[in-house]
Amino acid sequence: MEEITKLSCLCSLSVVASIPSDKIVDVGKPIDDIEDNSILRRGIPVAHSIYGVASTINAANYVFFLALEKVLTLESTEATAVYTEQSLELHRGQGLEIYWRDNFTCPSEEEYKIMTVRKTGGLFMLAVRLMQLFSQSKYDFTKLAGILGLYFQIRDDYCNLCLQEYTENKSFCEDLTEGKFSFPIIHAIHTHPEDKQVFNILRQRTRDIEVKRYCVSLLEKFGSFAYTRDILASLDEEARNEVRSLGGNPHMEAVLDELLLTWKSK
């Protein structure tokens, strides 16, 4: 669902900008799965568990440079600069998240948001900025891209710990096994600094289902899920307001409706 909705969102932006949607692809997922030690993606074993780490990295990097080759055919120095800038931003954001995880450093909510706009928002920003270079539309979609990046990542963090779909399609609360400082985790740690249980469970990178369930119960008790839902509702409203200010877009509104249902179904 995450990848499908994200692609739908990018395609919706391409409709407004009059850019072919078949040129949109997210090639970073296989690398993400390696960096996160993931087991499943959408219910299917991750690529590196089938083809090996070396081949997966090589294939992902190959596609990354195929995309760059396509950008170069546009014969636009601006397009090449956009591709380079946003690729660097994406890697900077990913690097921050990995650093926090591997050094057991819990970021502030504001630091998390900055990282997310760089990492998850990087894909949206790359697509939007390239589209705008070759579009007749005079609207600036970069603010919307930042909102969507934050919305998608916080929604993903929430669903990973809450929704049945993620229980089945990833592994149960895989973010806990990864040791990831996701949005609900950050809230719990900072609002209850005297209680070290969530932080200690995260450090263990446990695969124990019962320990994970206990951690989820703590997040519920600390109000972290409720707080995350409030933030998601706020981002949903902000995204819809921005879409309206850009002249409206029924395709984007449909994607936001779909996205809303995925986390509100809890």
Q: Kindly state the tokens that stand for 51.
A: 């083809």
pLDDT of residue 19: 46
Beta partners for 45?
A: 40
End-to-end Cα distance, the chain: 15
The model's confidence at residue 8, banded by pLDDT at 50, 70 and 90, is low
Residue with the two structure tokens 């695969």: 207
How many percent of the chain have pLDDT more than 70?
86
Q: 8: which strand partners? A: none
For tokens 């320990």, name the residue: 211
pLDDT digits (tens, 9 = 90+) for 134-175: 877 778 888 998 999 999 999 999 999 987 555 554 568 989
What is the C-alpha separation between 67 and 104, in angstroms, rounded? 35
3-class state of residue 41 by DSSP: strand
Which pLDDT band, with edges at 50, 70 and 90, does 23 fall under?
very low
Higher pLDDT among residues 19 and 258, named by residue? 258
- In tens, the pLDDT along 68-84 reads 998 999 899 999 999 99
Work out the average pLDDT over 187-194.
98
Domain annotation for the chain: domains and CATH numbers: 2-264 (1.10.600.10)
Alpha carbons 259 and 68: distance in angstroms, whole number: 30
| Chain CA centroid to CA 187, Å | 18
Q: How far is 30 from 110, CA to CA, in rounded Å?
A: 28
Mean pLDDT, the chain, integer: 86
Instruction: Name residue, tokens 């921005």.
Output: 242
pLDDT digits (tens, 9 = 90+) for 92-144: 999 999 999 999 999 999 999 999 999 988 888 888 888 888 877 778 888 99
**pLDDT tens string 197-250:** 999 999 999 989 899 999 999 999 999 999 999 999 999 999 999 999 988 888
Joined tokens for residue 114: 């900055």
DSSP 1-17: -HHHHHHHHHHHHHHHH
3-state secondary structure of 44: strand
Q: What's the pLDDT at 172? A: 82
Say yes or no to pLDDT of 42 above 90. no
Amino acid 11 reads C
DSSP at 21: G
Q: What is the pLDDT of residue 1?
A: 46
